[in-house]
């Protein structure tokens, strides 16, 4: 029997990369998946088609810019409307780019804070009544650089540090019905958004200071998210580093 059969899970930013791997892993264990996207609608739809080919009527797509806070309750309603329930929320969507202090703008701060901190809070609040009813779970994707900052990324690091704090605060506020945990990736997949790239020499330096000496791959994150939702019934308020040991060195 699949652990997640009959359950419905919303994964934000799930059209590609880590979010898509999380959606595939949870779906493989029986969950119905609501794939959220913003710009990558074609990739989100093709992922839904693939999941539906495996199990008819098991995946749907919702599209929303998470910076529009007023629209977030509607996004949760749409997710619930697809399968008649919501058992877990995975706050994966994130913007990521450098913000050197001297050139940092308020617009950049708003962008980074919106996806990495504010939307997870307001999505969680909107989902809370349904998640309480279902004894559900929330998993927030944070970053090892929430604890030990990445140079020239103050706004992103502060937003992720806020998300770590939010994870612990919501674990308290939503207990005992809803468990809230975080996953902190290290080097998993090099960023590919315009302006967010990491130079090859820097990639080599990062891997040289990672005890397991390689990129983890999106599946390593997906496996941990699956564990936190499907198995970790006595775990809440925790952050799991999935980083090949890199946080030991930082």
Least CB distance to ligand NAP at residue 198 (A): 9
For residue 151, the tally of other CB atoms under 10 A from its CB is 9
Options 40, 99, 181, 210; binder of ligand NAP; rule CB under 6 A? 40
Q: How far from the centroid of its chain's Cα atoms is residue 244's Cα?
A: 19
Q: Name the minimum Å distance from CB 63 to ligand NAP.
A: 8
93 binds ligand NAP (CB under 6 A): yes
Name residue, tokens 């995946």: 59
Minimum CB–partner distance for residue 145 and ligand NAP (Å): 7
Active site residue 88: no
For 152-158, which contacts have Cβ atoms below 8 Å and span 24 or more sequence positions? 152/98, 152/99, 152/100, 152/101, 153/96, 153/98, 153/99, 154/99, 154/101, 154/104, 155/99, 155/104, 155/108, 155/109, 155/112, 155/113, 156/95, 156/96, 156/97, 156/99, 156/112, 156/116, 158/113
The yes or no reply on residue 121 touching ligand NAP (CB under 6 A) is no
25 Cβ contact list (under 8 Å, min separation 6): 219, 222, 223, 225, 226
Residue 96 interacting with ligand NAP (CB under 6 A): yes
38 binds ligand NAP (CB under 6 A): yes
Output the smallest distance, CB 141 to ligand NAP, in A.
4
Does residue 98 belong to the site contacting ligand NAP (CB under 6 A)?
no
User: Which residue is closest to ligand NAP by CB?
Assistant: 13
Is 39 a binder of ligand NAP (CB under 6 A)?
yes
Pick out residues in 158-197 that bind ligand NAP (CB under 6 A).
185, 187-189, 191, 193
Size of the site for ligand NAP (CB under 6 A): 28
Q: Of the two residues 171 and 239, which places its CB atom closer to ligand NAP in the complex?
A: 239
Closest approach of Cβ 12 to ligand NAP, in Å? 6
Does 241 participate in binding ligand NAP (rule CB under 6 A)? Answer: no
Provide the β-strand partners of residue 179.
137
Q: Note whether 91 and 84 are within 8 A (CB).
A: no
Among 18, 23, 90, 138, binds ligand NAP (CB under 6 A): 18
Out of 9, 22, 153, 156, the active site residue is 156
CB of 115 to ligand NAP, least distance (A): 4
Residues that bind ligand NAP (CB under 6 A): 13, 15-19, 37-40, 65-67, 92-96, 114-115, 141, 143, 185, 187-189, 191, 193
Provide the annotated active-site residues: 156
């Amino acid at each position: 029997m699949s652990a997640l059969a009959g359950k419905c899970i919303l994964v934000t930013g799930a059209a590609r990369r880590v979010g898509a791997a999380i959606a595939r892993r949870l779906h493989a264990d029986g969950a119905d998946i609501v794939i959220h996207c913003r710009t990558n609608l074609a990739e989100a739809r093709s992922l839904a088609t693939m999941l539906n080919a495996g199990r008819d009527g098991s995946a749907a797509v919702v599209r929303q810019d998470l910076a529009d806070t007023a629209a977030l309750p509607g996004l949760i309603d749409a997710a619930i409307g697809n399968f008649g329930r919501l058992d877990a929320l995975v706050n994966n969507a994130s913007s990521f780019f450098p913000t050197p202090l001297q050139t940092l703008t308020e617009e950049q701060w708003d962008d980074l804070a919106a996806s990495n901190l504010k939307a997870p809070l307001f999505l969680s609040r909107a989902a809370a009544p349904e998640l309480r009813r279902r004894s559900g779970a929330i998993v927030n994707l944070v970053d090892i650089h929430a604890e030990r900052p990445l140079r020239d990324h103050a706004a992103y690091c502060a937003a992720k540090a806020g998300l770590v704090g939010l994870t612990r605060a919501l674990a308290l506020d939503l207990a005992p019905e809803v468990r809230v945990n975080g996953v902190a990736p290290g080097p998993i997949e090099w960023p590919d958004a315009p302006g967010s790239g990491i130079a090859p020499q820097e990639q080599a330096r990062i891997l040289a200071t990672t005890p397991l000496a390689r990129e983890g791959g999106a599946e390593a994150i997906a496996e941990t998210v699956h564990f936190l939702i499907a198995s970790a019934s006595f775990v809440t308020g925790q952050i799991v580093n999935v980083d090949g040991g890199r946080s030991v060195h930082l």
